[in-house]
Amino acid sequence: MSSSLAIVLVVAAVVVVAAVVAVALARTKRRDHHAREAQHLRSRAAAQSVAVEETQRAAAAREAAAEQAREQAELAEARAAEAREELLQTEAQREDMVREADRIDPEVDHRDEGYAPGDVAPPRGRP
């Protein structure tokens, strides 16, 4: 083997070793960078845990308030339905009284085809 070939082989070996070392260092550097980035993201996620818990508590409180509002609305609707029913009954009682008054009033023909229950107040000219 000639000395120039030996030098070329040594130089080539050194270049190959340097390339392998450079690749290994780049991988190590990249892994370290990714590990630091992952740790940073984990730290941020841990900090967010407090915010998540607070948000969960706020959402639960709002849901409880909404449920209470729904219950109150249902109760109010039930009361309104009772009031409507009471109104219908009161109106029916009033109409029954008016019809009875019209039935016994000699001036009202309650059997007429166009009859409708009269006013609660007596007609003009009457006491």
Per-residue pLDDT of 9-53, as tens digits, reads 888 999 999 999 999 999 999 999 999 999 999 998 888 988 999
Distance CA 21, CA 33 (A): 18
Indicate whether 121 belongs to any domain: no
- Report how many domains make up the chain: 1
Helix (H, G, I), strand (E, B) or coil at 56: helix
How do residues 63-109 score in pLDDT, each as one tens digit?
999 999 999 999 999 999 999 999 999 999 999 999 888 888 888 88
- Side chain identity, residue 30: R
Task: Give the residue numbers spanning the domain of 19.
Answer: 1-75
Distance CA 7, CA 66 (A): 85
- Encode 20-32: b = buried (16+ Cβ within 10 Å), e = exposed: eeeeeeeeeeeee
Indicate whether 27 belongs to any domain: yes
Indicate whether 69 belongs to any domain: yes
Indicate whether 9 belongs to any domain: yes
Q: Considering the entire predicted model, what is its pTM?
A: 0.49
